[in-house]
Structure 1
Amino acid sequence: MVVADENPPALAKFLKSVTSVKADDATEILTGLLKRREIKSSRNVAKAVTKLLLRFVSQNRHTKLSESQGLIKDVRDLGRNLVAAQPRELVIGNIVRRVLGVIREECNENNSLTGFADLPLGGRLSRASSVGEESADLGSNPGSGTATPHSGRPFSRDGGEEDIDAMSRRKSKAYIPPNLRNLTRQGSIALPNPSFGENNLQHALFSLLHSRAEELPNDSPGLKPQVKEPFEDKDIRGDVIEGIKELMEELEQVDEQVASHSETHIHANEIVMVLGSSPTLQAFLMKAAVKRRFTVVMIEAYPNDYQATQEVLKGPSKFTTPVGLKQLGKNSSAKEEPLTPAQMKANLTSIGVETILIPDSAVPAVMSRVNKVLMGTHVILRNGSMITTAGARTVARCAQEHSIPVVVVSGVYKLSPLYPFDPDSMLETGESSTVIGWADGEMVGSSEIFNPTMDFVPGELVDHYITNVGGYTPQNLYKLVEEQYGSAIDTLE
């Protein structure tokens, strides 16, 4: 088996130079590499962007907590430049948004808690709003269990004291919307007391909350005012850099973490159909092969990878150097360029996995014999859909017709918070000569030929996503998006 270098030449050169040049110069270098597509793998792009952001934050002039908005703006502007260099590589925006989330998280952790007295009027009255609304309508009837303007204390119907929360739950059922208070039809609704004005209502509510807060114990987390701590303008750059380094470690360990779920999803004597040849998918299958014996059916993915695939069928592969599982585990952390099906088949065969190679046209005939379909992915979108190898939508549709589960393995760094409003704009096309050669000049001159290298797969065609943080269904991916990016999603386009 041939194991590629840990990094391709372009990426290795950039990672070496980024630590010795200014952040602006490193940005220009990476922008040029992205425009020329010298860095192809999504993981390698993510590593390059993360390394650049680490250098950029370490040299940024905004280091204090009070200057965090300036740091966020600078990182956002850098991300927009990188996204503009390669708009279809969505992992760039994913990494930039993750770093922006790290900055915001550090700001929130270092900000002092807001005291009770500093809350706006709406915040201080939010819990008692329903009580106050009803007090305005029914304040003329003290026996109904409401708080009168002069009592300052809530009473229950039997004359005893009543808890505020209990009264709110009981009285919320009788809440009268403001737009219904002007109804004059007899018996339709109780009219408000004209002598009980808005100022008296606010005074009664403040008296009610103040008297309640005085009775709370000193250690109670209730409505008692909190003392605001003095603001400390802390240097957050070190904490942000630490968060970026954790993101870099995640990129290094994603294959091993995803592969740890393989024994749960691949069982003995199964036939697994595989589309794509990403290192993550290969590590997933190899980890399962340690304790399971199963058969892999690989699809050649015409027209971009079929030539290398046919070489495997013609004779012994040049990639069949046997390696042991220990050596394989040692090299599994290497983040190489995307594998060809021929390389992936040879790697699986070298550890004893029976591998069958079929053309795309044979997928419908073989699908009924398959237990599950495994795919890699280029990017996962917020609504559960994904962009992956060309031909994946046809395979997923065929699997759905045969009730075969489609499982996708991917790292969280490929999860994008964007919606596919225009899926065609996210797809890439390759060289058209791989479909029809220039020898067919008459056909080439009178037709428009497309060679898509990516395919859009809707979420309803995918059954399960396996990530380095666990498994998710397409319908539950929004929870993972909120965990990774928070509620603030930056627009980098």
Structure 2
Amino acid sequence: MGPKSTAPPGLTSFLNILNKNENKHDTNAYIELFISLLSRRQIRNSRSVAIATAELLLRVISVYKWQDLNQLIAHIKEVGNRLMAAQPREMAVGNIVRRVLGLIREEYEGDSKAGNISVYSDSGLDSITGRKRGESTSVLFSNLQPVLDGGEAGLLKPQVTRTTFAHQGGQFTSMFSLLSHPGSPEQNGTSTPPPTSHSSVPPTPTQSITTTATTITTEKSPPGPPGPTRDMKPGIIEGLQEILDELLTVDDQIASYSLDHIHSNEIILTHGSSLTVQKFLLKAASKRTFTVIVAEGFPNDHEATHARVMGFDPTNPIDDDDILDEVPQEQFQKTLAQAGISVILIPDAAVYAIMSRVNKVILGTHAVLANGGLLAVAGARTIAKAARDHSTPVVVVSGVYKLSPMYPYDWEALVEIGDPGKVVSWEALGEIGEGVGEKVVSVLNPIFDYVPAELVDLYVTNLGGHAPSFLYRVVGDHYRHEDINLGV
């Protein structure tokens, strides 16, 4: 029987269950609970999903016992694939899983370079590099190729290149080591004939190995049992705690850049109820005087938008995880109007008419893709197009945890469709159906819009400002290439 909680289903109840000591070793029950919450959309919005995913993986890693790193990586991939299958459009799940996999690899590589750890599989090969125990080889870095199939859990396997030159008349010296051989034949006035053939004889333990990329002198130690190992689990858990700390402080870090982008007497247009945008504006309002025009985001986000602008009523809670789970009621931010900002609330239909007076558009986002495009609340694409027609800059504020390494080859599949009853009531829909035929009426209510990269001028993340064309570099810094494809 799975874990239970008396709190309403959501992020708060899930974290309460994780923090309890009962059934702490039954991680599969927590995974199934999170899958249920995701599939029913009881945990939604990027930050709530990211926090829940990080907390779940923290519990999984703290309980799971592994023999080598391949086994741990395969297990994390398996859990990640189950979570992503429950809600494929919540890209924050895959983002956190990839960052945890990169954290595991970095922890191993750091300890391996320091000589503090030696992790081997049952085959006698190093579980990450594939080398034999006690063997040191030269690696041709230009030949490193990622393996994305499921055979070895997507690990990097270096292609080892050994090249030796032998001649019967003397020893061949590489050009790269001329200055390090004062007694070489060239300096003594003698010459050595060039080699006439390549030999495949393996090098001696002290022989210089020459490759097309670099020259490395290595020594082969005799095979034997691995050295003392260090438990990697504390280091991985510490790294996961840093990711959780980042998720809790990301909005404040983004808000610290607000004074660089918002100036006095500007008119700012925003859309929806993004908490990141609200903190961004409140931080700028501490030293700037400006006007904010808010498009309400009907029909999916207008209630939460009104709460952001006019205040949050705890007696009439809004069905929005971003409010109920991420922001405790006693610490809820004061409204824009209370901060001294002139706020104008407009319907979505008035966006194009008022755009000519707007100095800047600031948008929140649900997910950012590797090509610079983004998913935001429905209506964001219309605003971005209107801003492009009026040459108004569009600034998107987003945490790095929302940045996905995936490309929108089929962006329509990324757009989630919501309840059509919010657009047309079921009673009115029934009356329309009776008049024209029940199977004729089709009502679509998209929850998100895809905004292409060419409609965005700047991204402001917790790492600073980036052009959309630069996001691929941020992706490369946060995700390992071998973890892009999470297939086990």
Q: Same fold (TM over 0.5)?
A: yes
Alignment-derived partner of residue 50 in structure 2: 46
Verify the 8 A CA contact 2:46 2:92 in the aligned structure 1.
yes
- Alignment equivalent of 1:225, drawn from 199, 218, 230: 218
Q: Which has the larger radius of gyration?
A: 1
Alignment-derived partner of residue 304 in structure 1: 300
Residues 1:35 and 2:39 are matched in the alignment: yes
Residues 1:80 and 2:81 are matched in the alignment: yes
Residues 1:201 and 2:198 are matched in the alignment: yes
Give, in angstroms, the shift of residue 469 of structure 1. 1.4
Alignment-derived partner of residue 15 in structure 1: 15
Alignment-derived partner of residue 474 in structure 2: 480
Deviates more, 1:232-241 or 1:97-106: 232-241
What's the RMSD between the two structures over aligned residues? 3.7
Quickly say closer, same or farther: Cα 1:241–1:212, change in 2 above 3 A: closer
Residues 1:90 and 2:56 are matched in the alignment: no
Describe the superposition over 1:372-401 as per-residue Cα deviations: whole angstroms up to 9, x where unpaired: 100000000111111111011111111111
Aligned length: 404
- Alignment equivalent of 2:171, drawn from 152, 173, 177: 152
Give the secondary-structure state (helix, strand or coil) at the position aligned to 1:488: helix
Verify the 8 A CA contact 1:152 1:211 in the aligned structure 2.
no
Describe the superposition over 1:463-488 as per-residue Cα deviations: whole angstroms up to 9, x where unpaired: 11111112111111111111111222
Describe the superposition over 1:325-358 as per-residue Cα deviations: whole angstroms up to 9, x where unpaired: xxxxxxxxx974589xxxx998100110001111
Verify the 8 A CA contact 1:430 1:453 in the aligned structure 2.
yes
Give the secondary-structure state (helix, strand or coil) at the position aligned to 1:471: strand
Mapped to 1, the partners of 2:59 and 2:364 lie a distance apart of 31
Mapped to 2, the partners of 1:287 and 1:311 lie a distance apart of 19
Mapped to 2, the partners of 1:308 and 1:413 lie a distance apart of 23
Verify the 8 A CA contact 1:41 1:337 in the aligned structure 2.
no
Verify the 8 A CA contact 2:405 2:484 in the aligned structure 1.
no
Quickly say closer, same or farther: Cα 1:29–1:434, change in 2 above 3 A: same
Give, in angstroms, the shift of residue 442 of structure 1. 4.2
Give the secondary-structure state (helix, strand or coil) at the position aligned to 1:223: strand
Give the secondary-structure state (helix, strand or coil) at the position aligned to 2:481: coil
Verify the 8 A CA contact 2:272 2:301 in the aligned structure 1.
no
Give the secondary-structure state (helix, strand or coil) at the position aligned to 1:439: helix
Mapped to 2, the partners of 1:59 and 1:311 lie a distance apart of 41
Give, in angstroms, the shift of residue 110 of structure 1. 2.1
Verify the 8 A CA contact 1:153 1:211 in the aligned structure 2.
no
Mapped to 2, the partners of 1:39 and 1:148 lie a distance apart of 70
* AA aligned opposite 2:40: R
Mapped to 2, the partners of 1:107 and 1:297 lie a distance apart of 50
User: Structure 1 stretches of 5 or more lacking a match?
Assistant: 1-6, 133-146, 165-194, 214-220, 322-333
Residues 1:370 and 2:371 are matched in the alignment: no
Q: What's the TM-score, normalizing by structure 2? A: 0.74
Quickly say closer, same or farther: Cα 1:204–1:319, change in 2 above 3 A: closer
User: Structure 2 stretches of 5 or more lacking a match?
Assistant: 1-6, 116-130, 141-158, 181-193, 315-321
* AA aligned opposite 1:399: A
Give, in angstroms, the shift of residue 153 of structure 1. 4.6
Alignment-derived partner of residue 382 in structure 1: 370
Verify the 8 A CA contact 2:370 2:407 in the aligned structure 1.
yes
Mapped to 1, the partners of 2:355 and 2:378 lie a distance apart of 18
Give, in angstroms, the shift of residue 253 of structure 1. 0.6
Mapped to 2, the partners of 1:162 and 1:312 lie a distance apart of 70
Identity over the aligned pairs, expressed in percent?
41
Mapped to 2, the partners of 1:204 and 1:75 lie a distance apart of 42
Verify the 8 A CA contact 1:385 1:459 in the aligned structure 2.
yes
- Alignment equivalent of 1:267, drawn from 240, 263, 267: 263
Residues 1:457 and 2:451 are matched in the alignment: yes
Give, in angstroms, the shift of residue 233 of structure 1. 3.1
Describe the superposition over 1:188-214 as per-residue Cα deviations: whole angstroms up to 9, x where unpaired: xxxxxxx986xx32379979x94799x
Give the secondary-structure state (helix, strand or coil) at the position aligned to 2:428: coil
Mapped to 2, the partners of 1:39 and 1:48 lie a distance apart of 9
Mapped to 2, the partners of 1:47 and 1:312 lie a distance apart of 22
Quickly say closer, same or farther: Cα 1:426–1:312, change in 2 above 3 A: closer
Verify the 8 A CA contact 1:83 1:492 in the aligned structure 2.
no
Mapped to 2, the partners of 1:335 and 1:309 lie a distance apart of 11
Alignment-derived partner of residue 3 in structure 2: none
Alignment-derived partner of residue 361 in structure 1: 349
Alignment-derived partner of residue 423 in structure 1: 411
Quickly say closer, same or farther: Cα 1:25–1:204, change in 2 above 3 A: closer
Deviates more, 1:222-231 or 1:277-286: 222-231
Give, in angstroms, the shift of residue 40 of structure 1. 2.0
Give, in angstroms, the shift of residue 305 of structure 1. 3.5
Alignment-derived partner of residue 119 in structure 1: 138
Verify the 8 A CA contact 2:39 2:87 in the aligned structure 1.
yes
* AA aligned opposite 1:392: A
Mapped to 1, the partners of 2:466 and 2:389 lie a distance apart of 22
Mapped to 1, the partners of 2:168 and 2:265 lie a distance apart of 77
Quickly say closer, same or farther: Cα 1:305–1:119, change in 2 above 3 A: closer
Give, in angstroms, the shift of residue 439 of structure 1. 2.0
* AA aligned opposite 2:81: R
Verify the 8 A CA contact 1:116 1:224 in the aligned structure 2.
no
Mapped to 2, the partners of 1:366 and 1:228 lie a distance apart of 74
Give the secondary-structure state (helix, strand or coil) at the position aligned to 1:466: strand
Quickly say closer, same or farther: Cα 1:273–1:55, change in 2 above 3 A: same
- Alignment equivalent of 1:61, drawn from 55, 60, 65: 65
Alignment-derived partner of residue 173 in structure 1: none
Verify the 8 A CA contact 2:138 2:162 in the aligned structure 1.
no
